[in-house]
Amino acid sequence: MTFVLDACAIIAYLRGEIGADYVENLILDEKCMVHAVNLCEVYYDCLFRGEANDIADEFVERLEKMGIELREDMDRNFWKMIASYKTRIKQASLSVSLADCFVLSLADREKATLITSDRREFGPIYENGLFPYEIRFFR
């Protein structure tokens, strides 16, 4: 089974937050991937907390050593899918960030389960059937 992790899942794991064990087990036991835009959010989180670039770099290296596949998809079909998700979700009177449309699109492309703790944004998307695959909330 393939899993696509959003930024909050990775941050929870790296910070030892609630659900970190669940995310770690997925990373160690399953095929997991993250889009570069969502990894950028993780990097930004470190810098915003006042941590040096070295720490953010160590986090990224740690994830790579664990075997998380970094995806940098940005072909025409992919960015069109991102725009489509953003539009359909907005037309349903829901809110979603552009970065979250990257994780949705990567999971869609891979027919993967999306892993997140963000019920505020992803809950309504899932409940309204706007994503064709499973969204799994780890806390």
φ/ψ of 96, rounded to 5, equals: -155, 140
Domain at 93, CATH number: 3.40.50.1010
Question: What is the number of structural domains in the chain?
Answer: 1
- Predicted model pTM: 0.96
Pairing between β-strand 69-71 and β-strand 113-116 as defined by DSSP bridges = unpaired
Domain that holds residue 58: 2-137
Residue 11 confidence (pLDDT) = 97
Split at pLDDT 50, 70, 90, the class of 135 is very high
pLDDT of residue 63: 95
Q: Binning pLDDT at 50, 70 and 90, where does residue 14 land?
A: very high
CA pair distance 98, 25, nearest whole angstrom: 28
Average pLDDT for 12-25: 97
Kindly indicate the confidence band of residue 115, based on its pLDDT and cuts at 50, 70 and 90: very high
